[in-house]
């Protein structure tokens, strides 16, 4: 099981990290359009697909129980979140012009918000810890839901499982 989780998590985590890098290198965060949302939507779809494929592969290997399916889904998504966080760390450490541009846009939005934006801390928002918490929260919740759904739907098709 761990070998499959490592393979799928690394492969799909790399794809999710690539989408994050595409988003920042192409400055897609500067506009609100369908194209700028594609990397975010793509990383969610990648996570769902990774969990689906891991559960399907484990189901084909033999008798799969709910706990094992949940554990595999959560481990896979945790690995995806970790790799994506490493890509963000790369941006913070090695791409100061991109991150300064992003910081400037956040500062402008804070000023435009006026009184409502007074409590917003841009540096805290851009920190690695904040990004990591959001990645792990998003990915682990997706992993829990998708692995449960895939297991239950596949168990319904196989009455002896």
What is the average pLDDT across 78-94?
Answer: 95
List the domain range (segments joined by +) for residue 49. 2-93+132-157
101 occurs within a structural domain: no
Of 80, 63, 82, whose CA–CA distance to 1 is shortest? Answer: 63
Q: Looking at the predicted structure, is the pLDDT value of residue 159 above 70?
A: no
60 occurs within a structural domain: yes
142 occurs within a structural domain: yes
Other beta carbons within 10 angstroms of residue 54's beta carbon come to: 27
Domain count for the chain, please give it: 1
Cite the beta strand spans of the chain per DSSP E. Answer: none
| 3-state SS assignment for residue 30 | helix
Instruction: Write down the mean pLDDT value for the chain.
Output: 89
96-to-17, 36, 63, 86, 99 alpha-carbon distances in Å: 18, 21, 50, 16, 5
The pLDDT tens digits for 90-126 are 999 999 999 999 899 888 888 887 777 777 888 888 8
What is the average pLDDT across 78-95?
Answer: 95
Contact of 46 with 84, CB cutoff 8 Å: no
116 occurs within a structural domain: no
- The length of the chain in residues reads 161
56 occurs within a structural domain: yes
Distance from C-alpha of 4 to C-alpha of 57, rounded to nearest angstrom: 8
What would the two tokens of residue 19 be?
């989408």
| 3-state SS assignment for residue 33 | coil
Other beta carbons within 10 angstroms of residue 105's beta carbon come to: 14
109 occurs within a structural domain: no
């Amino acid at each position: 099981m761990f070998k499959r989780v490592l393979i799928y998590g690394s492969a799909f985590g790399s794809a999710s990290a690539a989408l994050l890098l595409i988003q920042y290198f192409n400055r897609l965060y500067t506009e609100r359009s369908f194209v700028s949302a594609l990397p975010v939507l793509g990383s969610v779809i990648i996570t769902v697909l990774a969990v689906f494929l891991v559960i399907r592969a484990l189901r084909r290997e033999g008798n799969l129980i709910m706990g094992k399916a949940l554990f595999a889904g959560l481990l896979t998504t945790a690995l995806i979140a970790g790799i994506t966080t490493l890509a963000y760390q790369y941006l913070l450490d090695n791409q100061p012009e991109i991150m300064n541009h992003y910081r400037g846009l956040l500062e402008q939005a804070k000023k435009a918000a006026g009184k409502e934006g007074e409590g917003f801390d841009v540096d805290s928002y851009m920190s690695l810890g904040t990004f990591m918490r959001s990645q792990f929260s998003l990915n682990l919740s997706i992993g829990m839901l998708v692995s449960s759904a895939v297991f239950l739907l596949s168990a319904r098709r196989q009455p002896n499982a």
